[in-house]
Amino acid sequence: MKGNSNIILEEIIYKGAEASLFKGKWFDKTVLIKQRIPKKYRIVELDDKIRRFRTVREAKMLIAVKDSGIPVPQVYEIDLNAYWIVMKYIQGKKLKNILHLVDGEKRRDYFKRIGKYIALMHKKNFIHGDLTTSNIIITENENIFFVDFGLSNRSDSIEDRSVDLHLFKRVLMSTHGSYFNECYDNLLGGYEEEYGKDSSEIFERISVIESRGRYIEKEERKK
């Protein structure tokens, strides 16, 4: 399947509600193509505008995050007619799929490094917005890459940093409960090491966010 003259779509990797991912070729490079799909319930003109805006926003975020020294796929091209972001294909495995296959020492190393990278993002005012073990790729030579910045934004808010970490914490608890303590402890350790003493305020806010959640759940049960 072909796109424009520079891009060849070879296979679909994932089809979601918001976007589809394809593996393909861009000139002589193996690439990942992310295409935002149309929403039939939206007016066509509005849908076009939203998809174009989100495509540009995500591509700009990827470029800015990479320029800050955080490992994310390199953006090669943006096609606003097809709503494509063409980026480097990262050969590796989702952290979610290999966490149970590695030993404790390697898990601790992964999460300490992940914590440092998240802290670096936050220091640069980048909020990922969807930190999960599915959005972290481990390559064959043990490099870490963060992917899927579709929900990312820029913010200097302590609350937004804490929410980013809190969502990741919930993913670890629900999906990787057996390894939660060692993973989360090393995540926070790496984060604190990179972010510095001000990280304590961020960690404290996580507890406040969790308290709110428990209160809402309690009120919902009363209804």
Q: Which of the following is catalytic: 48, 79, 103, 130?
A: 130
Contacts of 191 (CB under 8 A, 6+ apart): 115, 116, 118, 119, 165, 199, 202
The residue whose two tokens read 């979610």 is 96
Residue 214: what are its φ and ψ, rounded to 5°? -65, -35
With a CB cutoff of 8 Å and minimum separation 6, the contacts of 128 are 118, 121, 135, 146, 149, 151, 152, 164
- Determine whether 55 is exposed, middle or buried from the number of CB atoms within 10 Å of its CB (0-12, 13-18, 19+): buried
Coil/strand/helix, residue 15: strand
In angstroms, rounded to a whole number, what is the distance separating the alpha carbons of residues 62 and 77? 12
Is 130 annotated in the active site?
Answer: yes
Q: Which residues of 99-110 are buried (b: 16+ CB within 10 A; e: fewer)?
A: beebeeeebbbb
Active site residues: 130
